[in-house]
């Protein structure tokens, strides 16, 4: 017998597995080139060449006992210092290695923060649409999720509702910008106002509310859009970062947390996150990956490939009359369905061999997410299928 | 404010940090070569050369999008199949890739199993002396730790007490052989009897009790001792393995779980562990490490180096009259203190610049753990210091 709280999750995961199996069946039936799978957020652009060189150089030249050995649970000191300096150069901040904790991807980092801060029944606020895994991460820490409803068509957070839903038990607010699933980047104005609201509410309740900014898509932005660095707008901000997308290393599980010295109870929070890294079983971020990152700080995948994908699909969908949030970042389009029921719409899409994820998975009914981190040619081949899908509703 | 349940852990970790800082101070004061640090279980033997070659080959020859990308949360299919086959060759078992889940080290694997199986207030049994982190892993899953008292001088588990303490709420029993901190290998007779007891108790209570065998030290054995493969003695056994010690890759966080098809509710348990890998924030074991492991299955560190260390230190301590459990494996000696209070004894050792860990950290007062995964020459230099320590009690 598995744990009761796992039963629902296992059922949910078999639904996803069933969808995946069906996709494979469709590929067999219609030919792989005639199935248009936009369901997965798996980077399609290759990692930069200098990341490859860094891997080889580290393994060939570094003392292996050092390279593959334990270090402090928070990560190698020189790696943390180099990352802090790199962030300072980009964003004019003043971090040092003592503000950084290396993590097993952003997912690992988020769990570390939640375990460190959340007591049973503390509230963790999320803003829909949001990455569904947050529900599980909060449950791991025995917290309660509070959802701020989606705010279409801009998908900037509804700040009135945000303010109303903050209570004396609100411990953490998670934001994700550029956003999965909308691709929307929160504006500087949004972040300023969120900061002011959090500041005022913290004073009102006499509590410390931490803003946790989940930023795996920070570097994937288009049209020259800037992603404001969130620590500038609210002192109690912790940043979770991952190299999954910026260097296309999702399988390697490497990221970091930034815990600014300004956050409330900084020393306890930093120490707790170090302890949580250990006791949650991560122990430390993979050591080789840490050292490779230090050598690859200025590298990036070729973002123009994603931009080209986005432009092709976005133009086509707009021409067909679809309503789409302006996706300035990440590699997703969040498209309004042509009927109310997003699952029914996703099924209609499947009839045209288009695989997309219903918005209800992200706490936002009536939309579907289209992940365009795929081959450009697949998008070209899919365009007539989207046309047929639109035609069904005419 | 950090979470209340983290406060004690942070305090505890600052005690350890203080010890570590004191060690560094001692090295400054007396010279690093005159401080004998036996406190850390950090492998001192270099990883095998073919592991290095495997890292370089994978990075140079494999498609990078595949090599560094997401795979199933349970790990690459071919890696899992190869590991199953390797275990079958060694132990005559009949696993396939569908019995294996790749994990972020053994620590990650243990957390995955506990999260999958344990409901709040379920009991998880551990046998003292035991790795203190188990307490935290069980707490992560909201379980309750039940401790079977130490059984010196053999440190084979006290099976009467083991039997007595099994209740209707016992969900998991964790064993660790070769053992940290004693170096003792549980005998085939011990494992058979444990299996029979678990079988009978499960029937008595109408429950499924899972035996979780934590085996990072499996390959580190001496004197030709065999470590019985635990799945043979009890059907409901899950094995947690790590390459931290056998390949000296502790920083790389790579290991696996074996979930035999014979365990109760196999399909749910395997699916739940896959889901737990994802939702706990591991997502998957580091991808490059998975592929390197597949190429390095027959490799091992040079265990004779640890054996030489053990023999030197063990002979010397025995000559000095110390009582030591027979350490057939791992890289630890568990030595009876010359006074009742193990912390006081560890402090006396520190006066001779010897750093060891009090047994109470492992739930076993009156002993200290000496980690001999250190340079042979440091052991040679430390011998007179142990002599002076013994002389204090004459």
Interface contact B281, partner A, CB < 8 A: yes
Q: Which of B315, B312, B323 lies closest to B345, judged by CA?
A: B323
Residue B19's pLDDT is what? 75
Residue A21's pLDDT is what? 79
Contact residues on chain A for B4, CB-CB shorter than 8 A: 119
Which pairs from B153-156 meet CB under 8 Å and 24+ separation?
Answer: B153/B323, B153/B325, B153/B336, B154/B184, B154/B325, B154/B326, B155/B129, B155/B179, B155/B182, B155/B184, B155/B325, B155/B334, B156/B184, B156/B186, B156/B187, B156/B190
A349-383 core/surface letters (b: 16 or more CB in 10 A; e: else): bbebbbbbbbbbbbbbbbbbbbbbbbeeebbeebb
- Mutate: best of A281, A287, A290, A295, partner B, most B CBs <10 A: A281
A52/chain B closest Cα distance in angstroms: 6
CB A359 within 8 A of CB A368: yes
Q: Indicate yes or no: CB of A251 within 8 angstroms of CB of B44.
A: no
- In whole angstroms, what separates CA A108 from the centre of its chain? 12
**Is the per-residue pLDDT at B20 higher than 80?**
no
Interface contact B144, partner A, CB < 8 A: no
B199-212 pLDDT, tens digit per residue, is: 999 999 999 999 99
When CB atoms are compared, the residue of B42, B69, B207 closest to A251 is B69
C-beta neighbour count of A206 within 10 angstroms: 7
Q: What is the ipTM of this complex?
A: 0.96
- In whole angstroms, what separates CA B113 from the centre of its chain? 15
- The rounded distance, in Å, linking the Cα atoms of B234 and B186 is 14
B235-271 pLDDT, tens digit per residue, is: 999 999 999 999 999 999 999 999 999 999 999 999 9
Task: Retrieve residue B373's tokens.
Answer: 């995964």
Share of chain B above pLDDT 90, in %: 93
Interface contact A261, partner B, CB < 8 A: no
User: Could you tell me whether strands B144-148 and B123-127 are parallel, antiparallel, or unpaired per DSSP bridges?
Assistant: parallel
CB A372 within 8 A of CB A315: no
pTM confidence score: 0.97
- Mutate: best of A138, A238, A251, A289, partner B, most B CBs <10 A: A251
When pLDDT is averaged across residues B337-347 and rounded to a whole number, the result is 96
Interface contact A377, partner B, CB < 8 A: no
Indicate the helix (H) or strand (E) that contains A160.
helix A159-165
Search chain A and give the residue with CA nearest B16: A275
C-alpha distances (whole Å) from A18 to each of A14, A25, A39 are 6, 10, 13
Task: Retrieve residue B394's tokens.
Answer: 């004459």
When CB atoms are compared, the residue of B42, B136, B288 closest to A252 is B288
Query: A13: pLDDT confidence band, cut at 50, 70 and 90?
Result: confident
Residues whose CB is less than 8 angstroms from the CB of residue B151 and which lie 6 or more positions away in sequence, other chains included = B157, B158
| Residue tagged 């924030």 (tokens) | B281
When pLDDT is averaged across residues A10-14 and rounded to a whole number, the result is 84
Interface contact B24, partner A, CB < 8 A: no
Q: Indicate yes or no: CB of A3 within 8 angstroms of CB of B141.
A: yes
DSSP-assigned beta bridge partners for residue A329: A221
Query: B77: pLDDT confidence band, cut at 50, 70 and 90?
Result: very high
CB B213 within 8 A of CB B255: no
A199/chain B closest Cα distance in angstroms: 15
B265/chain A closest Cα distance in angstroms: 6
Q: Indicate yes or no: CB of A279 within 8 angstroms of CB of B133.
A: yes
Q: Indicate yes or no: CB of B47 within 8 angstroms of CB of A64.
A: yes
Secondary structure of residue B78 in the 3-state scheme = helix
At how many degrees (to 10) do helices A287-295 and A77-91 cross?
Answer: 40
Contact residues on chain A for B276, CB-CB shorter than 8 A: 6
Q: DSSP assignment of A223-242, as one string?
A: TT-----GGGT-TTEEEEEE
């Amino acid at each position: 017998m598995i744990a009761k709280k796992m039963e629902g999750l296992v059922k949910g995961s078999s639904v996803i597995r069933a969808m995946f199996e069906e996709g494979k069946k469709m590929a067999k039936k219609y030919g792989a080139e005639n199935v248009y799978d936009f369901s997965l957020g798996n980077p399609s652009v290759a990692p930069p060449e200098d990341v490859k060189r860094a891997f080889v150089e580290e393994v060939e030249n570094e003392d292996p006992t050092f390279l593959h050995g334990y270090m402090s649970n928070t990560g190698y000191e020189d790696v943390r210092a180099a990352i802090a300096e790199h962030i300072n150069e980009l964003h004019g901040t003043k971090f040092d290695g003592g503000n950084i904790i290396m993590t097993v991807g952003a997912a690992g980092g988020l769990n570390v923060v939640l375990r460190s801060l959340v007591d049973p029944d503390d509230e963790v606020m999320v803003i829909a649409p949001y990455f569904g895994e947050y529900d599980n991460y909060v449950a791991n820490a025995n917290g309660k999720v509070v959802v701020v409803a989606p705010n279409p068509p801009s998908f900037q957070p509804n700040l009135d509702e945000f303010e109303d839903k903050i209570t004396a038990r609100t411990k953490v607010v998670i934001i994700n910008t550029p956003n999965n699933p909308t691709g929307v980047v929160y504006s500087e104005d949004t972040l300023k106002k969120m900061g002011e609201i959090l500041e005022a509410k913290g004073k009102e309740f006499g509590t410390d509310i931490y803003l946790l900014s989940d930023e795996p898509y920070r570097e994937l932005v288009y049209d020259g859009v800037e992603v404001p660095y969130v620590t500038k707008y609210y002192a109690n901000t912790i940043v979770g970062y991952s190299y999954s997308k910026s260097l296309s290393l999702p399988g390697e599980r490497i990221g970091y947390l930034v815990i600014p010295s300004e956050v409330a109870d900084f020393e306890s929070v930093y120490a707790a996150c170090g302890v949580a890294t250990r006791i949650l079983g991560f122990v430390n971020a993979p050591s080789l990956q840490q050292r490779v990152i230090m050598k690859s700080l200025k590298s990036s995948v070729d973002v123009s490939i994603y931009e080209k994908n986005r432009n092709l699909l976005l133009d086509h969908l707009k021409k067909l009359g679809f309503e789409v949030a302006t996706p300035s970042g990440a590699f997703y389009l969040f498209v309004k369905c042509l009927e109310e029921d997003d699952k029914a719409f996703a099924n209609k899409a499947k009839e045209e061999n288009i695989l997309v994820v219903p918005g209800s998975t992200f706490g936002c009914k009536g939309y579907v997410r289209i992940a365009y981190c795929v081959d450009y040619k697949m998008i070209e081949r899919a365009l007539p299928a989207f046309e047929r899908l639109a035609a069904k509703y005419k």
